[in-house]
A and B are shown apart, each in its own frame.
Chain A
Amino acid sequence: MTGRVIVITSGKGGVGKTTTSANIGTALAKSGHKVVLIDTDLGLRNLDLLLGLENRIVYTIVDVIEERCKLKQALVKDKKNPNLQLLAAAQTRDKTAVNADQLKEICDTLKEENDFVLVDCPAGIEQGFQNAVAGASEAVVVTTPEMSAIRDADRIIGLLNTKEEITSVKLLLNRVRPNLIKSNEMMSVDDVVGILEIPLVGIIPEDTGIITSTNKGEPIVNDENALAGKAYRNVAERILGEEVPFLDLDEPKGIMAKIKNAIAKLKVKV
């Protein structure tokens, strides 16, 4: 079995790489696939927090590379889903503790026994980025509909295109607020896709539930009711090759949302 190694990257920080990694990983594992998440953000690790696994980490990726433990020992199983495993980053080291060849080797080993290896990339385009993309054959570029994030995403896509190993680069648009798009205060999905010119793999609406889910260490895909959770489940299905229509974010669900929406519409008219 040879699994797929997908790097999740963005260039800019704070657009939701780690949240995306945790949620796609969890969604893929829920659909019965074996998934390993690798946190390559050495010194600024967060992925373990989002999954609520911080207290279980004994060995990190640096321990594996410096041969203080075996790769299998360093994999932390998820609380709920044994299909999902995490290889944590070392918090007390920096990006220079690892090099691209070592990371490639780890990815190559892991993909033999897993369906998916998702690599959570650190922000920036330096060593950390180079390490993270080394073993990958596919990339998901996360961006938000803001000029700065899109500029950085554009830069990243350019860098990814120079890597021969990476055959597929897809766009995930995060923190979309349909109301703002309607009132022309936010770039629309079409605008962003028009600028970046890569295929879209998902649109994730802004959801305050993300904040609580991050604090609780519980990915939002486990919440059946959350819209963002549904969007992430759809992304996982698209990664698995299914054709899933994009969520219609325009249609508000609750009565309050309907009223808010009506007010927003009024404002546009005025």
Chain B
Amino acid sequence: MLMEKSLVENGFIIDLSNIQNTSQLVFELSSIMEHPEVKGKNICLKLGSLDLKQSQLLSIKALVESMNASLALIDTISEQTQASAVSLGIMTETISTDINPDFVPQAKEEIEYKKESVVEKSESIATSTGYNEENKTIEVHADIELPADPIETAEGIEDIYDEMSTEEVSEVIPSENYETNTFDSLAASEGLLPTEEVSKYILLDTGNVLPEGISENSVSTGTLPTLYLNQTLRSGQTVNFEGNILIIGDAHPGSEIVAGGDITVWGILGGIAHAGCNGNITSKVRALKLNAIQLRIAGLYARRNDTLNVPYVQKSDEFTPEEALIEDGKIVIYKKLRRD
């Protein structure tokens, strides 16, 4: 385990990725946290493959905070830990998959430089605390680091963005994965997180109901034409378009929107929405309020959970934009959480 100065502003990377159980983690972390250098810093915790429940992560967060530091970022390859962090509002990332390929060539040069500078810094800490230098790993974060202080200017963010890079950058990222990953990382940084109401929509047991002769594909919906509609869709009205559909207005219950690509409703979506009707599994459905009675993406159909007793067209001034997409053969809803 090793402690390093992070590239994040006023940050520290604590690498505990070789630790395999929670009690050891807490022990090591608390001994590191006692070090005066750590106080008041934004801690970036590297946890490797350790699975942490939400409650466990919460106690670790409390431990960090008890030392006047804050837990800014968690790097883990465990899905459970990631989910726990997400539910606690802590940023997460898995370095190997989150890199935007566009930044790769530039970033590589940066790495060499950063590596040296980080090594220097970490050496001094390592010697002072007696940790073994050889275990050292360089952590550079691809994600946009959110400053702890939200009033930080755009300039600050840009600086950090320049530093984005990693040794594993050269790893080829498939273009399809890239699409979803960008969303995931963006979602994490913007507070767009998978909704906790996992059961808001339940897949119908219809199986995959693509029409005959049509197979699944993942054409980028960005290349499709878009139909722009500035109107309210009422019960019984249907919109059918081979590309993307953008509606400025509400789509009332009983209406039907069928698109070859994405569906975006700038308003309340209450009817049936079918994105990617030609089998495009990368299609998404977004709305300021996602109340659709049924969501269909490509061949997957999901119904709204009966237990959600939401009025079909709920007028309100508060909107929580949501986005539905296919993940692991399921329809998943992402929502923007309010930050209190």
**A residues apposed to B, CB below 8 Å:** 43-44, 52, 54-58, 79, 91-92, 216-217
CB pair A92–B301 under 8 Å, yes or no, is: no
Shortest distance from the beta carbon of A40 to any chain B beta carbon, whole Å = 16
CB pair A58–B256 under 8 Å, yes or no, is: no
CB pair B238–A92 under 8 Å, yes or no, is: yes
- B102-110, B158-166, B303-311 - the one binding chain A: B303-311
Task: Let me know if B177 is at the binding interface, CB within 8 A.
Answer: no
For A216, give its contact among B238, B253, B309 (CB under 8 Å).
Answer: B309
Q: Which of A55, A57, A79, A92 has the most CB of B within 10 A?
A: A55
Residues of A within 8 Å of B23, CB to CB, are: none
CB pair A79–B306 under 8 Å, yes or no, is: yes
Shortest distance from the beta carbon of B15 to any chain A beta carbon, whole Å = 48
Q: Tell whether A58 pairs with B236 under 8 Å between CB atoms, given A52-B306, A92-B256, A216-B309.
A: no
Question: Whole-angstrom distance between the alpha carbons of A87 and B162 in the complex?
Answer: 60
CB pair A58–B206 under 8 Å, yes or no, is: yes
Question: Whole-angstrom distance between the alpha carbons of A79 and B287 in the complex?
Answer: 28
CB pair A92–B303 under 8 Å, yes or no, is: no
Question: Whole-angstrom distance between the alpha carbons of A238 and B206 in the complex?
Answer: 37
Q: Tell whether A56 pairs with B236 under 8 Å between CB atoms, given A91-B254, A216-B309.
A: no
Q: Tell whether A58 pairs with B301 under 8 Å between CB atoms, given A91-B235, A92-B237.
A: yes
CB pair A55–B306 under 8 Å, yes or no, is: yes
For A43, give its contact among B236, B294, B306, B309 (CB under 8 Å).
Answer: B236
Task: Let me know if B209 is at the binding interface, CB within 8 A.
Answer: yes
Residues of B within 8 Å of A92, CB to CB, are: 236-238, 256
Residues of B within 8 Å of A57, CB to CB, are: 294
- Knowing that A55-B303, A92-B237, A216-B309 are A-B contacts, what are 14 other residue pairs whose CB atoms are under 8 Å apart, sorted by A's residue number? A43-B236, A55-B306, A56-B204, A56-B303, A58-B204, A58-B294, A79-B306, A91-B235, A91-B236, A91-B254, A91-B256, A92-B236, A92-B256, A217-B306
23 contacting pairs across A/B (C-beta < 8 A) = A43-B236, A44-B236, A52-B306, A54-B253, A54-B293, A55-B293, A55-B303, A55-B304, A55-B306, A56-B303, A57-B294, A58-B204, A58-B206, A58-B209, A58-B294, A79-B306, A91-B235, A91-B236, A91-B254, A91-B256, A92-B236, A92-B238, A216-B309
Q: Which chain A residue has the least Cβ–Cβ distance from B309?
A: A216
Residues of B within 8 Å of A58, CB to CB, are: 204, 206, 209, 294, 301
**B residues apposed to A, CB below 8 Å:** 204, 206, 209, 235-238, 253-254, 256, 293-294, 301, 303-304, 306, 309
Residues of A within 8 Å of B238, CB to CB, are: 92
Residues of B within 8 Å of A44, CB to CB, are: 236
Q: Which chain A residue has the least Cβ–Cβ distance from B294?
A: A55
Q: Which chain B residue has the least Cβ–Cβ distance from A52?
A: B306
Question: Whole-angstrom distance between the alpha carbons of A216 and B253 in the complex?
Answer: 16
Question: Whole-angstrom distance between the alpha carbons of A55 and B306 in the complex?
Answer: 8
Question: Whole-angstrom distance between the alpha carbons of A111 and B269 in the complex?
Answer: 38
Shortest distance from the beta carbon of B10 to any chain A beta carbon, whole Å = 49
Question: Whole-angstrom distance between the alpha carbons of A58 and B256 in the complex?
Answer: 12
Question: Whole-angstrom distance between the alpha carbons of A58 and B205 in the complex?
Answer: 11
Q: Which chain B residue has the least Cβ–Cβ distance from A216?
A: B309
Question: Whole-angstrom distance between the alpha carbons of A159 and B303 in the complex?
Answer: 40
Question: Whole-angstrom distance between the alpha carbons of A31 and B256 in the complex?
Answer: 37
Shortest distance from the beta carbon of A150 to any chain B beta carbon, whole Å = 30
Q: Which of B238, B254, B256, B301 has the most CB of A within 10 A?
A: B254
Shortest distance from the beta carbon of B88 to any chain A beta carbon, whole Å = 32
Return the 9 tightest CB-CB contacts between A and B, nearest first.
Answer: A55-B303, A92-B238, A91-B254, A55-B304, A55-B293, A91-B236, A54-B293, A92-B236, A56-B303
Shortest distance from the beta carbon of B58 to any chain A beta carbon, whole Å = 35
Question: Whole-angstrom distance between the alpha carbons of A79 and B303 in the complex?
Answer: 13
Question: Whole-angstrom distance between the alpha carbons of A52 and B308 in the complex?
Answer: 12
Residues of A within 8 Å of B237, CB to CB, are: 92
Question: Whole-angstrom distance between the alpha carbons of A43 and B237 in the complex?
Answer: 10
Q: Which chain A residue has the least Cβ–Cβ distance from B202?
A: A55
Q: Which chain A residue has the least Cβ–Cβ distance from B211?
A: A68
Question: Whole-angstrom distance between the alpha carbons of A91 and B301 in the complex?
Answer: 18
Question: Whole-angstrom distance between the alpha carbons of A56 and B256 in the complex?
Answer: 14
Shortest distance from the beta carbon of B269 to any chain A beta carbon, whole Å = 14
Q: Which chain A residue has the least Cβ–Cβ distance from B209?
A: A58
Question: Whole-angstrom distance between the alpha carbons of A52 and B303 in the complex?
Answer: 12
Shortest distance from the beta carbon of B264 to any chain A beta carbon, whole Å = 21
